[in-house]
Chain A
Amino acid sequence: MKDHIRPALTMLLLLTVLTGLVYPLAVTGLAQVFFSDQANGSLIMREGKVIGSKLIGQYFDKPEYFWGRPSATVSFPYNAAASGGSNLGPTNPALIEAVKARVAALRSADPGNDSPIPVDLVTASGSGLDPHISPAAALYQMNRVARTRGLETTIVQNLVAQHTEERQFGLLGEPRVNVLRLNLALDALRH
């Protein structure tokens, strides 16, 4: 057993240097050189200020913006320093009540819109930071946004179409709309 002690400690030390220092440093170096935008968080700038990240959702509840997925992050929604889901089980009354409240909020923000509500718009995402909604969820909100902003519905509809990402390589994932980028495009119409 004694003759194993030196290799055990030295091997741990050397592999720590190799996999815990050299490897992450090498990846960071290469990433920063070749993919610096992505490696630093795919940030969106507007007028010299960081507005957010293309990949991280933001909270919207004003009627003139498209709303994203409900977020269950700690302290406040879309807390990008503490990701997480609700973890509510399918039969938990708290889940059913929360969904009913979200349905009611969407209905009261857009009276007269009786179309069924897409599920992603009333269920919390796993990360609490989901930047996307389904195209159905965007179309559901289109009339409200257009009316509040005094825009033609077709203009808003075109923007939604422009911001709809198809499945990657036509196969992987699901079609989706990036809420922050869509809302930025809406704001840009005013300028």
Chain B
Amino acid sequence: MTTNAISQVLVFFVVLLGLAKPLGWYMARVYEGKPVGLDCLLGPVERALYRLCGVRPADEMDWKRYAMAMLLFNAAGLFFLYGLQRLQNLLPLNSANLEAVPADLAFNTAASFVTNTNWQAYGGETTLSSLTQMLGLTVQNFVSAATGMAVLVALIRGLNRSTSTTIGNFWSDLARSTLYILLPLSLLLSLLLVSQGVVQTFDSYQTATPLQSVVHEQGNSRTEPTEIIEQIIAVGPAASQIAIKQLGTNGGGFFNANSAHPFENPTPFTNFLEVLAIVLIPASLCYTFGVMVDDTRQGWALFMAMMILLLPFVAIGLSAEQSGNPLLTAAGVDQLSNAGQAGGNMEGKETRFGITGSALWSVVTTAVSNGAVNSMHDSYTPLGGLVPLFLMQFGEVVFGGVGSGLHGMIVFAIIAVFVAGLMVGRTPEYLRKKIEPYEMKMAALLLLIMPIVVLGFTALAMSTETGRWSILNPGPHGFSEILYAYTSQGNNNGSAFAGLNANTPFYNLTGGIAMLISRFWLAIPILALAGSLASKKPVPVGPGTLPTHTPLFVVLLIGVVVMVGALTFLPALALGPIVEELMIRGS
């Protein structure tokens, strides 16, 4: 790695560390209902929301009512988004005259945005009208993120309360996440992005007369080549959507190329802001957790575990991509880094970001369940592509999605105290709550569902003709494409090895089901866990209590995450990227 690469990575993590504490403190105040400084402006809006919905925010819910409210709200969102896509040809703000979205694709896209995945089987600029992007996708970017945060806060309350039957009010958690956290941050970020060149207009296209025309061979010798003398440049209300797709760990691009597109991510500075926005809220929530359980050391312990899991992958990803593709060197291509060029494996990457800006992004966007891309992961070197794949397979707990990442990590912490309890023969406790068979059953559900979904659907796709038909790249890389697709959807990430033709009824349906299971089948056990923990009396801390803020516990937690992640997926990884890496070295 070059000095500049190390500096860029260092500055990124220092800024993140600097922002995590103040934002985490702010979010804790939001969820504890304390004044946050925006109350005079947003307070009336919040109260009007409750009044019109007939909701009293002080009415607390038990876990079943909380879960039901969450599921109904998301179901309503799913149907609304599906309908919007199916009818977009009849609705306004469709200046490009796009047709209605086909049923299977509309289902997949609706499931994708409601579950905070933002898997995109469509190309933004060629499939969805501005109305669908705004009323459908942008809205779900906000509320799916807010849903994740609400479930997390419910779990934290469960840990913090004693002999309580309730875990909060879903409507209030949803509204406050959206109003006080996501909206102000998105407004700020979108304006910063526009100032750098991200487009924000209600026009759909600009037409330019380029310096030189393109002579386009049709690939058919009988037809004359056509000369293209115009450049149609797609624009749109992009900045407002990009801000929330980054902050809400959504990841769905306004344009097909996502944040590789110069209008989504025009400069190295926007790249820095966007990659920071990916991890900002998930990282800060660790501190929020610490504040809300009255012991910030607990939050920092989880934060450190995530950071220690993340950093080695930054190093591996960066050096794999910087070392380039040996097959191209053989073709007479210079991939060495020097004063004139970044070098490295530049297929699918943008010149302004080079290797550092691209590889750092690929690690962060998959560790965090964001899934936005600024380079094409399918064209990464085998090791460089293994890193994002493997990070998702941890179950999106290395920061993970807003809310969902931390609640996943808290479950791993519960498993870690259980494992430690087994070793020394004591009843496991986490934050003074006894961990008993019911909690372990819920935690085990969380561990099992995701691998079953990911590996089951991968096996199904590999063993059917329809599944294999979509593969673009031959050999083990083709298997990686399918494994990546279900890993991404089964962990609500949304990035892709995009060579796979995912817009087929088979992939749209199986992928949509995978996303829905992974999101909601996991959220329900989390809320059940919250309800069960809330009802317990805290046990006094004794000499036999395992402290959960120490370096020892951090190491134990990392061990549990790695064991579960690695052991489950290593055989599948061996068939894909690992074989490909061996092939490339052998050639």
Contacts and interface: CB of A to CB of B under 8 A. Distances in A.
Contacts of B272: 172
B271 interface: yes
Interface stretch (B182-190, B388-396, B507-515, B523-531): B182-190
Interface in A49-85: 49-62, 65, 69, 75-85
Most A-side CB within 10 Å, residue of B267, B327, B349, B350: B350
Contacts of A168: 267-269
A6 B53 contact: yes
Contact of B342 (A15, A129, A134): A134
B211 to A, nearest CB: 6
Interface stretch (B191-199, B281-289, B291-299): B191-199
Nearest to A45: B208
Given A78-B214, A81-B234, A38 B332 contact: no
A136 B382 CA distance: 26
B211 A180 contact: yes
Given A15-B139, A51-B210, A91 B357 contact: no
B368 interface: no
Interface stretch (B24-32, B154-162, B427-435, B467-475): B467-475
A86 B269 CA distance: 26
A61 B244 CA distance: 39
A43 interface: yes
Contact of B206 (A26, A53, A172, A174): A53
Interface in B82-128: 123, 125-126
B52 A10 contact: yes
B240 A85 contact: no
Interface residues of B, number: 136
B340 A171 contact: no
A180 B262 CA distance: 14
A126 B327 contact: no
B553 interface: no
Interface residues of A, number: 108
A54 B347 CA distance: 22
Given A12-B76, A39-B194, A51-B211, A173 B357 contact: yes
A159 interface: no
Contact of A51 (B208, B339, B378, B477): B208
A50 B232 CA distance: 11
Contact of A16 (B135, B231, B240): B135
Given A90-B380, A135-B340, A82 B498 contact: no
Contacts of A176: 351-352
Given A69-B351, A99-B333, A90 B234 contact: no
A136 B135 CA distance: 45
Contacts of B136: 20
A119 to B, nearest CB: 5
15 contacts: A11-B55, A11-B73, A20-B139, A35-B195, A55-B262, A56-B263, A59-B214, A81-B234, A83-B125, A83-B257, A84-B123, A88-B378, A90-B327, A139-B340, A174-B268
Interface of A: 1, 4-12, 14-16, 18-21, 23-24, 26-28, 30-32, 34-35, 38-43, 49-62, 65, 69, 75-93, 95-96, 99-100, 103, 116-120, 122-137, 139, 167-169, 171-176, 180, 183-184, 187
Given A20-B135, A136-B341, 13 more contacts: A4-B73, A14-B52, A27-B191, A31-B239, A43-B206, A82-B234, A85-B260, A90-B580, A91-B580, A126-B349, A127-B350, A139-B340, A174-B357
The 4 closest A-B pairs by CB, nearest first: A173-B268, A136-B340, A126-B260, A87-B499
